[in-house]
Structures are given as C-alpha cells and as structure tokens.
Structure 1
Amino acid sequence: MTISVRASNERREALPGARARNTLLEVQALRALAVALVVAYHVWPQKLTGGFIGVDVFFVISGFLITAHLMREYENHGRISLTQFWARRIRRLLPAALSVLASCVVAVFVLLPEVVRVESLRQIAAASVYIVNWTLAFDAVDYLGAGNNATLVQHYWTLSVEEQFYVAWPLLLVGVGWLVSRANRRSGGGRSVTFFGWTALAVVGVSFAYSLYLTWFSPSFSYFSTATRAWEFAAGALLAVVVALRPALVSRLRDSVVGSRSGVVTIVGVAVIVMSAVLLNGSLPFPGVLASLPVIGTLLVIAGGMPGWHPMSTLVSLRPVQFTGDVSYSLYLWHWPVITIFVTLQGRPPTTPEGLAIVALSVGLAAATKYFVEDPARRKSFFTRSRRPAYLLALSGAVVFVVLSVSVGGAITRQADAERAAFDEQVVDGTGCFGANALLGSGECPDAFLLDSTVNLTAASTDLNTTDWCLTWRDEDWKTCELGDPAATEGTIALVGDSHAAAMTAAFDEYYRDRGVRVITYTRFGCSGLNQGTAGADDSTEQGGYEYACRQWSERVRSEIAGRSDIDEVVYLNFTSGYIASGGRAPGYALTPSEIADTWNQMIASGKSVTVVKDLPKTSGEDVPACLSTRVGQNAPCSTSRALDAFDDPQVAAISLTDGPVRQIDLTDGFCDETTCFSVIGGVVVYADNNHIGGTYARTLMQYLGPQLR
C-alpha cells in the first residue's frame, strides 16, 4: 500500500537524508545510556530506582529515526511503501527477538521449574505476536493476575508497544497524506510534507492528555498501554519534522554558544535523563506528566547534536559507548531472561559481583546475537531481495510459539486438573495425614511438612477455582450465588467478604451440599463488606472509585441480608490485615472497629447471628508455589513465623462495641504449630499464590471449620 502524493522539490534538500551522517554518534550514545539505565535498574532496582525511564528514551529515538526515514522515502519517491517499510522493520527486529524467545522456551523446560511453564508460554506466545503489553496491562488490573510472577519475556512489552507504533504510525501518515492531497487538488494548492508535523503534533496532544487521565485513574493499566506512550514516539517524530523542515533553525541552535560547540544542550539533556533515573521510583504515577522528563532530555540530546566540545565529543565517540549502542537492542532482549533465571534458581536477587557477571553474560550474548543474527538478517540477499522472507519469518514465528503455548500449556493444565480430582477421597478422610488433617487430625504425621517429589506444584499454582468463586469483580456491580443444599432444611448461611472468602466458596458448597445447609455468597474483591459511610465519593482517583464502590456494595449487602428472613447466620471472612493502616491502607480508607460494630449491630438487629472467621496467616509475600519449586526435598520450606500473624485486628476491638454476641473462629492452628506457619501441610500446598488459600487445602480445612459453624 502506498501514498502517491508527491512532495515539492524545494523541500528535498532540507530533509535529514541530505545532510545526515550515516551513523548518528549521539543517538548511538543515547541508546547506550538508555539500555545501561534499564539493565542497571533490573539488576539493582534499589540502587537506581528510576532506571525504567530508559525505555522512554528508546521510544523517542524510535519516533525520531522512523519518521525521518519515512519523510526521506516520501520525499524521494512521493509515497510511503507500507509493505516495504514493515519488511525492513521485520528484518531489523524479529530475527533477534525470535531467537531470544526460542532460547526462553528452552530455558522454561530445561532450567526453570514446571510451576512457571504455563504462564511463561502464555507470555511467550503474546510476545511473538507483539501484544504482550496488553497481556500485562490486563493482568495488572486483574485482582489475581496482578500477583503473577515475572516471566522471562515480560520486558517484551516495550517491543510490543514499539511494533504497534510501527504499524499505526505509517498507516496514519498514509491516511492523512491521502486526505491532504485530495484537499490540495481541489483547492489547486501545492503539495507539502508539513502534514507530518501536524499529525505528530496532534498525536502528542491527544496521547499526552490520555496519558495524564489514565495514569491518574488506572495507573497499572496506563503503564503498559500503547495509547499512553504514543506521544513519546510522536515527540521524536515532531523533532524529525523540525530538523527536516527548519534546518536553519536547528543549525543556529547547534552553532550557538549553547549548541554543539559547547555541548550545553546535549549535556543538559543527558543530565535530565540521568536525574530522572535517579529521582523517580515505582511508587510515583508513571507515565503521566513524569514521562515528559526523559522525553525532554532525549529531545535535547538529539537537537543538540554531536557536541563539538572536546571532552564531551570524546566521551560520545568512545568505542565502548558506541559498541553498547550498537548492541543495545540485543542487550535489552537478553538481560532480563538472564536475571530472571538467576533469581528463580537462587531464590534471591544477585549480589554486586553476581550482578556484574549477569551484565557481562548479557553483553556477550548480545554481541553474538548482533553479529550472527541481526546483521546477517539485514544484509544477506536472501532476506533483502524480496519482502516475502520477512513476512514468512514473522508468520511462522508467531504460529510456532502460539501453537506451542496452546498445546503444551493446555496439556500441563489438564494434567494439573486431573491430579486435583484424584484428591477427592483423601479430602474427606479425616483419619489420614492429607492436608489440614496433618495438623488438626488425631493421627500421627511425622512428615507433615515435607515437600517431596509427589507434590504437584503446577496443580497447586492453578488451584484457585475462580470459576466457582461467584466473586463480584472490579467491572461488576453485583453478583451472588446460592450454594450448598437448596432445600436448606438446617438453615441458611450468608458468606460475606473479599477474595479470601471467595477462595473458600467451593469448599463451603461441597461441605454443606449434603448437610441441609444453604450458602448464599456475598463476596467482592478487595472489599470486606464491613465498610460504612461514603469514603471515596469525592476522590476521582482509581483507588477512590474502588473504595466508594466497595461502600455502596457493602450497604447493599447489609440491606439484602437484613431483608431475608431465611438467612439465620452471617459469616465474615476477610483479608483483614490488608484493610488497616499498618497493612498499607490509606488512613481515610482504613477499616475501623466502629464501622465493623455498626455492620454487626445491623445484622444482629435483623435477627441474624454473626460469626467472624479470623483471616488466614500471612505469607512472606512471595508466590508460594514458585517459592516451593526450587526447594523440593526440603522439610517445611517457604515457612514463616507465627508472630507475623500478630496485628491489631479491628474485628477484635469491634466485639466490645456490639449490641449482642459475635462468635469468633480462629483457624490459625490449621496452618501453624506453636512457632511456625507452613506452606506445605500433609502433602498439600497451602496457598495457590502469595495470599489465597488453594482450593484443595480449603476443602481439607472445611472439615474442621464446618462443624464450628453449623
């Protein structure tokens, strides 16, 4: 597909191609700086808290170079050949990217534990078709997916954003160019390439405004969104247009006292980038307005050009700097898998010497990929004489990785499901040592906390039974289910709480199905059902919206339960420690004893009995199946101190404020002995992630919780 609008001859000499050097040394140095920041951030995140801004530098560089190239093509040929442009992009990017993806597949099966395979293959497939940024974006706003472990290819999100820009940007230029050419023909006006600049300016304005909006309302999603990053590419594109159409202006800047002769503009640009990397951190809203810092710094460096000031020009021209710029793409591809493999196998971040070794290994792999994969793919006649090999490579690579993910990942999941189904008889056998029986049963269980090879950690990592939870998710207003025995000859229980209650839903259903008790669920993620008031109503942030929605939902739950005469008992089960100030809740949204007491008093006044189940013991915060995956054969691996479970529980304080009795049930002894809380009990993994009880262990625990409730 092409556009046939021809540019005016008088513009040709002003385009970058007429004056540009074959290699822009300052751009290569920028690439070196950007990749150095990213690698340092990933290896030592506590020492360079804002190194992630290196990817924003890459985005601006890409926008600048790609737009300059498209303008030269348009100027020289009067059109933009989309198929040729995309073929060049494929030859430039895909051979190295697919090579690293293939290596990651091998690593997943040879080096990494089985527990990470399904998620790793899913993201490898997404990376092969350049949509992994959207996979991560939706995982980031998914209450459960947000806790997923980092995979070997998580860093491909930036490549996905870049590839999506490479598709959308020339298409947009083709469309705008076609409209401009038609308008000019009708008016009899001359043809101009200024529409490149106006289009870039429009994208900067719209995308930046959207980035501000989404970073405020949904920071997790905005970080990975292409729409919130597009303005960074467009800013680079706008500079390319200025360089092309106003070369005298750029020349005056570079020839001025603050320009290339002194290097002030370039030095200031580098300083802005470096200071951004030092001062920013992951707790600040990003991208949003803060992304403008590395963008401005990058624009200053490119606009400043190659500094004439000798010390600065010498530094930029140093062979190590230029070499790092040359291999920056492959270094970016390789460094993250190397880090992730190390951390997964060692169970800890690298020390300084180990970090340096990781960097050295990554540079070696990058150099090999550059010289044996990247360069041949760009230069060999087999790839360059026709566009077909490039498109065949892209298609075949995507097909292979997607099919591999679907087939192998599906097989692993089916095996895990079958293993869980085989536990049925052991779950209801209270005389053995399976699951909670090992701690709460009457039998002797000498190896109660041993992680042996028979424990299927893949099954454990997918043991959340979310399809049975009947949980009200973030994008839903209301959901409730009736489980257990519909006849309800022995009464009806209302189960109220957040995802910790929802994780017990299937166990409640199974236990009470044959015991004459109906269970009605009222569960919402991140919401205890105990909140009162209207906090969050005046807060326009994402968190404020969630808090207010939680309180509206909680009020509806109270009203529903109070209005049902068939419900005789209300059971509350929550991640209570997460709703108080010491657990990280903002003070204005912290759960208080008074609002808990008010909720319970409403239930008691409506004739219900109230029972509160103390929340499950906390983990160390690490994904438990992943932690266990490198510790097979150990006794009591990934355990925590029982003392970690001690906190000022507002539910305890609320009991003295209620107008009637509130029964408490403490299940801690089903997880811990006198000093230690365990991650493997009776051959069953207790947690399916970093805080939710696994479905299998919940079923074994229900044999002890059930009799206390009814």
Structure 2
Amino acid sequence: METQLKEKYRYDLDGLRGIAIGFVVLFHVFVGRVSGGVDVFLLLSGYFFLGSQLRYAARRDATLNPWWPIWRMMRRLVPALVLVVVVCALLVILLLPDLRRVDLAWQLMASILYYQNWELASQEAGYQAASWGISPLQHLWSMSVQGQFYVLGILFALGCGWSLRIQRRRLQRKRGKEGGPERPTSSIQTIALPVLIVATIASFAYAAYLHPVDQQLNYYSTWSRMWELTLGAVIALIAPKITLNRHLRSAMAIVGIIMVITTGLLFDGAQVFPGPGTLYPLGGAVLVILGGGPASTFLASRFMRWLGEIAYPLYLWHWPLLIISLAYLQMKEAPVWLGIVVILVSLLLADLTHRFVERPLRQHAARPTRGEGRVREAWWRAHALRPSRGRAAAGIMVTLLAVACVALPPVWAKQVKAINANRLDPEVYPGAMVLRGYRAPDVPVAPDPYVLPDSLSMFWNARCMSQKGSDPTHLPPDDHGGIEAGNCVFGDRDSDVTVFLTGGSHADQWGAALDLLGKQHHFRVIPFVRQSCPSFVHDYEGAFSENCQTFNDTVRDRIIKDEPDLVISNSTRPMYEVGQKQDSVPRGYVEFWDFLKDLGIPFVGLRDNPWFFWPDGTDKYPSFCAVEEEDTSQCGVSAEVPYGTGEDPAKQKLLDRGMIPVDTRPWFCPDDWCSPDIGNIWVYRDSHHISDDYSRSLAPLLWNAMEPLMDAIHEKHRER
C-alpha cells in the first residue's frame, strides 16, 4: 500500500510564528531594522500550507477542483486584510491628506489583489524604516508574496494529486489485465520532493545573484523569495522521517530560537534578505522544526500559542498604526512611549480581529471529498441558518469594501489627469503676473495641493522624457515616427526655428512655458531631457550615474547632427549630492556651454529655483505646509538660504561666452522671500519642482529675456 503523509499538528510552531512576528513588530517600532521574522513567517507558511495541500492531494477521495482550496485560502486571509486596508485608507483621508498620493492609491489596489510586492518594486520604493512619509501599506509586500505562493502551491499540489491518481489508474488497469497482488504506487513525497528541491535551489541561486545586482528588486521579487516558502515545504516532507536523539533535539530547538531572535541584531535585513544571509534565521527556524524538548514546550504554551494565533492580524495592524501615528504627530521616529502605545493597540486590535473577523469567517468544515455536494449544502445553509446568513452578509460586505479599494486608484488618477489638462483662468490665477502689478483676487490657491504632487509635467505626460531605467542611448523624440512625424514636438510644430530643451527634470519643468511661447512666437520646442540628469560634458563632482553621462553624450551628438537654432537648459544647481545646498555652477555645465559656443549655437541659461527641505534633510512640500500650518512663515524660506547673498553665479560665465543668462530668483523669491504660492497658484508641485500652472504664468517674463535673441534668429531665417 502507498504511504500517506501523516503529521501531527505542531503547536510549538504556532509559538515560533508568534515570536517571529513579535520581533518584526519590536524591530519596526524601536530599532528601525528588518528582524528576519517575516522570512521565518514565510518559511512556516510554506511548511504548514503546502504540507497540508499535499496531504490532502494524496487522499484517494480528494477532489482536485482548485476552487475549494482557493476559496478556503480567501476566507482565511482576505477579510482581515480588507479590514486593515480600509481602516488605513479612511485614516489617511480623514487625518493625513499629505499622504493622499496616487502611489498609495495604487498600493491599495495592489494590496487587495495581492501584487503589492511588484507595485512597490515598480514604484522604486525601497523598504525603509518607519518614519513620517513612508507608505502605511509598505509591509503588505510579504502578504502578496505569500498569497502568490499559495495559489502556485495549490496548483502544484493538485498537479501532484492528478499525477498520483493517473498512476493509480494505470496500475489498476494493469492489475486487471495481468492479475496478481496490488502494486504500490509512488507516494506524494516521491512526486513533489524533487520538484520542490529544484525550485528551492533555483530560487536561492537567483536571490544570491540578484542581491549585489538589484537588492531593491531582490527584496520584493516573488521569484527570489520563493525559496523561503519552498524550503518550508521541503522540511514538511522530510521532517517526519528524521529521527534524532532527544538531547540533541532539545539543544537544536534552543539554538534555533536564539538564531531567530538575534537575526535583527546581526543583519540589516533590508540590505541582505532574501540572499544567502537569510540562511541564518531560516536555519534557526529549521532547527526549531526538527528540535523538541523544553524550548518546544515553551513555544507550545498557552501565551505563545495565542501570540501565534494573532500573528497575522498583528502583522497587518502594527505598521499602519505606527506610520499614521508618526505622520499625525509629525515625528521622524517613535519615542518609547509612542512605541509602547502602538504595540499595545496593535495587540488589542489583532486579538479583536482574530476573534470577530478571522475565526468567524474562515472555513471551519473539512475540505470536500470527491462527489460531495458542498455547493448545494452551502446554499441551503445560507438560506436556512442564521449563523450562515450572518457569514454570507459579512462576506458580501468584505467584497464591497475590496471593490471600493480597487475602484479608488482610477478615480484618483482621473483627478490628477484633470490637473494636467486643466488651465487656470489667468484673471483669477495670475501667478507670476502679480510681479508685474496684476491683482490677484481673494480666492483659494489652486490647484489641489494634495493631488498636485502626483501630476506630471507636459513633456513627461507626453512620454517625451527619458526615465532613469531606460536606455540612455535612446531619445524619446525618435519614437513613433520621430520628429519628422511630429513626435515630441511642441510649440509651433510648423515653424522652421528649432529650440532644444536639454537637461533633467529642472529643465523639463519649463516645458509648459516654452510650449506656450512657441505657439505665440512661432518656434518649435523639442525636449531631450532625462530624470536626474542635467546637461554637462563631464561629471566632475561624481554626483550622477553612468547612464546620465551616456545620455548627455548622446544628446551632444544629436545637437551636432541637427544644429538647432537655440538650446535652453539650467545654468545653476544646488549640488545636494555632494553637500552643496546653495545654487552653484558645476564645472561640467561650463564645458557644455563651451561645446555650444564652438558650434556657434546660442544658449539660454535658466537659474534654478529654490529647493525646500526640513532641518532633518527630508523633503518639505511648501504647499502642504501652507495648508496645514496657521503660521505660514515657516513654509517659505528666505532667499539667502537657496541663493546666498550674491548675484547669479552663472551670469558672468555665460556673458563671457556670448550666452544669455536668466536670473529667475526674483520670479520665485520677490522681496527676498520664497513663498509657497504666488498669484493664487501653488509655485511647487513638490519640494523642488515648479508646477505647470506657475510655469505657464512665467511665460511673459521668460519671453522678455529671450525676445532679442529670438528676433535675431527669426531674422536670420528670413534672410536664408
């Protein structure tokens, strides 16, 4: 007869799960590091979940319909998740409008649909210590990895079950033809174990490879995390067959617990896991699984089992409570008193969630057997029995809340799109025109400051800006038929006067003004801009990436080839990358101007706008500050802070080369005060990029500086 998987339930491993999540909470709140508890939690998830799936699939009467285990999994995991996500969203909306960002809205959807790990990776959101401004849903990446593994594990177990069933049928047919005694079939272990071992080795190798290449992606990737869960499944298959000395097992359990609880002291998990360093906490967990004795008795105690039972909701609750508390109190890190409060409230909410959400809504009945009419029975119970009706009503409520979370991001994105498409009435929102004496009526400042940070510049929205991860030798204006087909051509598309805008996002932000001026004064504007990549020849300060250097080389080649009539870019920049906080002229900028001078191409250099930071160095959004603080004097900044006391540092260097310097300081800091709003328009979309609405209001001032040069360029074209 075939052997069946039989495993007595390990209550001590519930205690281990409680310790793992308990240390996650303690390290998040008080230490600001990853403890390794999540990695242990994932291993135990693989141990319990896939082990149970394989045991069921090995049964002769198993139904191999994937719906039932998926339904059981959803009832176990989804209600508590939806509750926490919805409460988190409501708290952000009601208490913390500065966290109402499109990226958080997309994370709501990603959390509910179990792809939060990939969403965070796509947003380039490195796993950071708890502080004001961090996503309150950041921690749900691990729940997404777990959910994805569960679906794959269900399909794998059912595949093993089908393989075992096919073997049985073949042997039965063969026995029917040949006679003789029944022959044993392969066991579920024989089928599953080789596949799981290969998957574990492959995933571990991938994690080890990706660790030095892209640790941020490595941290979130399902494929680099997979080995932690499949290793748990491997242990579930082989542990029952391992027999060890009683004293050795006792020692192993003690050592294993020590390894698990000391991981966070020895490793910075965000920088190490799930690479080879993860073998330390997982090795400790394996020792506990294979061990026994007093340590296991302690883990199986009533308190530790309770902690294990509430581990899942405790993990869900603690992080949003911590982040929202820090944001509401405007603290960078939690003092001891706040940490204790967060932990106590998290424990209380976790216990209540377990008692009144998890336990009532999970599937209590055993998995159905082949041929059992479970759907008909469930339908009858939902109509006839009050408890079943209550669970059905709760299930409908959970579904509606989940749908609401999934529906929110498109609505929020529509609001952002409206900002991008909307044009403020210049009579009501004169912006920079108040600097020319225009009167600004008494109306609320626009647009919505909490939506504004998610808006994008005109060129970015048109996909005409090269992004960090893109090929630096490829220029977006060459897509979709290129410039000849009108791609990435702004201003007057039919003009034969061509202006190139080059540089990074601080050049790109002038696109709205230049597009308007191009239409009014008949020149076309073509952007050759890239994220975090100003225009230079050589990066002497070592502040920018190799890709940025390559992109600049590519743009210079394009300038030589196309010979534009004018190039516009920034002329100064605060080099925060090397500790320089006031605007200056990097040496590579001057080389770029010499390059243009040698080609006989004129250049307009725009002095950079102020950058805003809090004293601790974190980004300061002037518009958020102005809305939330009654005393807005702390929301702006004296012009001396970003500019110093001298004149434009690029002015003389540009004049010496026959170029046009444009000192923008008076446009952003009239009367030597850099204000969050000017002329009823928020000047900045974030801490250091100007809004498109304010950029458009600057168009007449920019034209005053450009007009003599543009008149000469137009006259030259007429003489040709």
Q: Does 1:200 align with 2:196?
A: yes
- 1:42 paired to 2:42: no
Q: What CA deviation, in whole Å up to 9, does each residue of 1:535-568 have, x standing for no partner?
A: 99xxxxxx9xx94433332222101112223x23
Q: Is 1:369 the counterpart of 2:353 in the alignment? A: yes
Aligned-partner Cα distance in 2 for 1:608–1:338: 57
* Map of 1:555 onto structure 2: 553
What secondary structure sits across from 2:425 in the alignment?
helix
Deviation at 1:622, TM superposition (A): 3.0
1:486 aligns with 2:473: no
| Secondary structure at the counterpart of residue 489 of structure 2 | strand
- The answer as to whether partners of 1:345 and 1:630 remain within 8 angstroms in 2 is no
- Tell me the amino acid that sits aligned with residue 356 of structure 1: I
Any idea what SS the aligned residue of 1:194 has?
A: helix
Measure the CA separation in 2 of the matches of 1:175 and 1:317: 34
1:367 deviates by: 0.8
Distance 1:399 1:522, change over 3 A: farther
CA distance in 1, matches of 2:403, 2:561: 52
Aligned-residue offset at 1:523: 0.7
How far apart in 2 are the matches of 1:596 and 1:549? 17
Tell me which of 355, 359, 364 is aligned to 2:339.
Answer: 355
Aligned to 1:463: 455
CA contact (8 A) 1:686 1:697 kept: yes
How far is 1:282 from its partner? 6.9
The one-letter amino acid paired with 2:607 is K
Equivalent residue for 2:45? 62
| Residue 309 of structure 2: aligned partner | 326
Query: Is 1:502 aligned to 2:508, yes or no?
Result: yes
Cα deviation code 1:422-449 (max 9, x no counterpart): 65332xx6xx8743345x44468899xx
Q: Deviations over 1:201-248 (max 9, x none)?
A: 11111112222333333333332221111111011111112213x232
Query: How high is the sequence identity, in percent, across the aligned residues?
Result: 26
2:110 is matched with 126
The CA distance in 1 between the partners of 2:672 and 2:297, in whole Å, is: 62
User: Which amino acid is 2:551 matched to?
Assistant: W
Structure 2 residue identity aligned to 1:608: I
Q: Deviations over 1:18-58 (max 9, x none)?
A: xx2x4522x223222222232234333xx24233x322121
Residue by residue over 1:238-290, the C-alpha shift from the partner in whole angstroms, topping out at 9 and shown as x without a partner, is: 1112213x232xx33xx244x21xx3x23333333333312433773543333
Counterparts of 2:283 and 2:347, CA distance in 1: 28
Deviation at 1:329, TM superposition (A): 0.7
C-alpha distance in 1, partners of 2:98/2:541? 44
Give the match for residue 703 of structure 1: 700
Contact 1:470–1:502 at 8 Å: present in 2 too? no
Whether 1:32 aligns to 2:51 is no
**Residue 578 of structure 1: CA displacement?**
5.7
Partner in structure 2 of residue 243 of structure 1? 239
Q: Measure the CA separation in 2 of the matches of 1:313 and 1:301.
A: 7
Q: Decide whether the 8 Å contact of 1:38 with 1:55 is kept in 2.
A: yes
Task: State yes or no: 1:294 paired with 2:281.
Answer: yes
Post-superposition offset of 1:418: 5.1
Alpha-carbon deviations, 1:365-397, whole Å to 9, x = none? 111111111111236679999467899899967
What whole-Å deviation, never above 9, does each CA across 1:583-632 have from its counterpart, x for those lacking one? 79xxxxxx995544443322211111233323332222436288448706
Q: Give CA-to-partner distance per residue, 1:327-385, whole Å, 9 cap, x none.
A: 11111111222223323322324432122112211111111111111111236679999
What SS does structure 1 have at the residue aligned with 2:628?
Answer: coil
Match of 2:226 among 226, 230, 235: 230
| Aligned-partner Cα distance in 1 for 2:574–2:205 | 37
The residue that corresponds to 1:588 in the other structure is none
Matched letter for residue 552 of structure 2 = S
Q: 2:445–2:681: 8 Å Cα contact kept in structure 1?
A: no
* Gap change, CA 1:665 and 1:274, over 3 Å in 2: farther
Indicate whether 1:172 and 2:156 are aligned.
yes
Among 93, 104, 123, which residue is 2:88 paired with? 104
Q: In the TM superposition, what is the alpha-carbon distance from 1:676 to its structure 2 partner? A: 5.3
AA aligned to 1:354 is: L
Q: Closer, same or farther in 2 for the Cα pair 1:119/1:535, shift >3 Å?
A: closer
- In 2: Cα distance, 1:533 partner to 1:701 partner: 30
Supply the RMSD in Å over aligned alpha carbons.
Answer: 4.3
1:93 match? 77
Distance change >3 Å, CA 322–CA 180, structure 1 → 2: closer
- SS at structure 1 position matched to 2:520: coil
Structure 1 spans left out of the alignment, 5+ residues: 1-7, 537-542, 585-590
Any gaps of 5 or more consecutive residues in structure 2? 175-182, 380-387, 478-487, 708-720
Note the 1:67-466 alignment, pairs <5 A.
67-77=50-60, 81=64, 82-113=66-97, 116=100, 118-140=102-124, 150-175=134-159, 178=162, 190-192=185-187, 193-244=189-240, 246-248=241-243, 251-252=244-245, 255-257=246-248, 259-260=249-250, 263=251, 265-281=252-268, 284-305=271-292, 307-308=293-294, 312=295, 316=299, 319-349=302-332, 350-378=334-362, 386=374, 400-401=400-401, 403-405=403-405, 409-414=409-414, 423-426=423-426, 434-437=430-433, 440-442=435-437, 456-465=448-457, 466=460
For residues 703 and 28 of structure 2, the distance between their equivalents in structure 1, rounded to whole angstroms, comes to 47
SS of structure 2 residue aligned to 1:68? helix
Alpha-carbon deviations, 1:137-180, whole Å to 9, x = none? 211179xxxx9954443322211111110001231343356557
* Matched position secondary structure for 2:356: helix
Q: CA deviation at 1:485?
A: 2.0
Deviation larger for 104-113 or 611-620: 104-113
Q: Structure 1 512/405 Cα, relative in aligned 2: closer, same or farther at 3 Å?
A: farther
Inter-CA distance 680–276: structure 2 relative to 1 (3 Å threshold): farther
- The structural deviation recorded for 1:182 is 6.2
Q: Secondary structure at the match of 2:431?
A: coil
